[in-house]
Amino acid sequence: MLQKEQFVTVIGGVNVDITGFPKGVLVPGDSNPGHVKFSVGGVGRNIAENLVRLGMNSRLISAVGDDIYGQKVLEEGKLAGIDMQHSLVVKDHPTSTYMAVLDETGNMHVAISHMDIYDKISIDFISGKGDLIETSAACVIDTNIPGEIIEYAVTNHKETVFFLDTVSTAKAMKVKDFIGRFHTIKPNKIEAEALSAIKIVDEKSLVACAEYFLGQGVKRVFISLGQEGLYYNDGVGSGQVPALPVKAVNATGAGDAALAALVYCHCNGLELEYSAKFAVAAAARAMTDENTVNPHMSVEDVKSWMRRRDNE
């Protein structure tokens, strides 16, 4: 009997990204010479595309408007190899839009997001995706989705392996009361502090923060420490992988690539430390291209970046 095709389901945001790149040092409060890039993005969608580029089948549950941007999102998703047939198309509502201005280092200086459309995702809608969620090798959820929808999904599908992308401190608080329903989480330092109420000031408090999440029921904790790398802990092993030095062109997709890398490693039975190293390399590779999802992302490409560190 042939085994069913393995796939990952992503429940999360998809939007149109409008990104401004200054030619020189960004001057706040002034008109800066530079160029503007229009692309399709969103945390959930970016994770889904990164998964495809890592050789995995991904199915995206999200919401788009019945407008020109929504059509663009669906078309680009199909071209990228993402199965988007399970997403909701909302009449008379604009597709989510994210507008960001980067500074001269490639980091986000300021952004405005218009994401009201995700409130159109209902319990009835997500309950109709139960079979899809339950048969997934893993299910990624980002916190752009309403809190009650996230809680419904993780509460009613207890056998599913859920990965959490916290997105931001404010949005991460939606899942604080049921964080233990997630198998793997990857908050950054500030998000981890907010969710655990533990201030990370040294190695001892970093360990205590991770142990808080493990005590809640999380199986694997990865805490992003920015330029200091990625801390990992599963209650058996722990450690910290330094960040790879890289000249960032666009850093906004680094976290999405890292989360996709962790899902890839889990689905392929790779051990904890290797998973952290693979995620750090994927994040570094993501930052080397203007696109939020680096078109050169692949398993072999990420492995080559891992070897760079080994050869240093």
Report yes or no on 189 lying in a domain.
yes
Report yes or no on 179 lying in a domain.
yes
Report yes or no on 109 lying in a domain.
no
Report yes or no on 178 lying in a domain.
yes
Report yes or no on 100 lying in a domain.
no
Q: Could you tell me the pTM of the whole model?
A: 0.91
Q: Helix, strand, coil % (nearest 5) of the chain?
A: 40, 20, 35
Total domain count, the chain: 1
CATH number assigned to the domain comprising residue 182: 3.40.1190.20
Q: Which domain holds residue 175?
A: 44-68+83-92+122-311
Confidence of residue 1 (pLDDT cuts 50, 70, 90): very low
Whether the per-residue pLDDT at 290 is higher than 90: the answer is no
Report yes or no on 201 lying in a domain.
yes
Report yes or no on 58 lying in a domain.
yes
The predicted model gives 92-96 an average pLDDT of 93
Whether the per-residue pLDDT at 218 is higher than 60: the answer is yes
Report yes or no on 135 lying in a domain.
yes
